[in-house]
Amino acid sequence: MMGTIIRYSLALIIGSALGLSSALYMAGLWPGAKPLDFGDVEVDGWRSDFAIGSKSADPYTRARVARHGLLALAKSEAVYFTRTTDDSGDLLREECDYRMVGGKMPANWWSITLYDARSLLPMNEDKALSIDATSITGDPENWSVLIAAQPPEQQVDWISSRNAGKFDLTLRLYVPDEALIADPEASFTSPAIERLSCEGESQ
């Protein structure tokens, strides 16, 4: 009798743990998982969940968005793309400097913001954690931004990665063009991210 109780108790505990952990993992909520690598749209390494904010979002997407995109808008109002790697496929990190190059965006207004691994703005006082359509100083159809932990020596647009560790970039496109929603791969030329150098590397 005691053996039966133990077997059923163990089954309950192990089953619950398996169910809980598999749900957390599949929804991108498991510690160490990379929830931003999920998504149903990818354009040159920039990933997006077009199901965000919609009632049709599956439970996995809803759980993931609730944790990492809380209070995000539906795609008719805003589209969010996130990039975690440079053009070589390596993770973006504070120890490296990058050049991001882009052009005209398919939306009324756009911004690109840097977040750390906890989905928070990194703790620094550089006041350089994003760029947007109104702050770009170069040609709006062919702009360039330096992403680095230290301010640039020359006068160029800069996003600070100081104290960010491994980070990602979120591109917000407000009031996106209909073509972007219909066919993102065809209508969106995404910003490229070239790694310039890394700490400890010979130039």
Residue in 178, 51, 166 with CA at minimum distance from that of residue 116:
166
Distance CA 34, CA 126 (A): 27
* Residues 178/180/186/188 CA torsion (nearest 10 deg): 140
Distance CA 84, CA 142 (A): 22
* Nearer residue to another protein within complex by CB, 132 or 183: 132
Q: Return the residues of window 41-70 that contact another protein according to CB under 8 A.
A: 53, 55, 59-60, 62-63, 65-70
Rounded least distance, CB 147 to another protein, Å: 15
Cβ 40 vs Cβ 49: under 8 Å = yes
Residue 113 in the binding site for another protein (CB under 8 A):
yes
Q: Return the residues of window 141-180 that contact another protein according to CB under 8 A.
A: 170, 172, 174-175
Q: Which residues bind another protein (CB under 8 A)?
A: 4, 7-8, 10-12, 14-20, 22-24, 27, 29, 53, 55, 59-60, 62-63, 65-74, 76-77, 108-109, 111, 113, 115, 118-125, 127, 129-130, 132, 134-135, 170, 172, 174-175
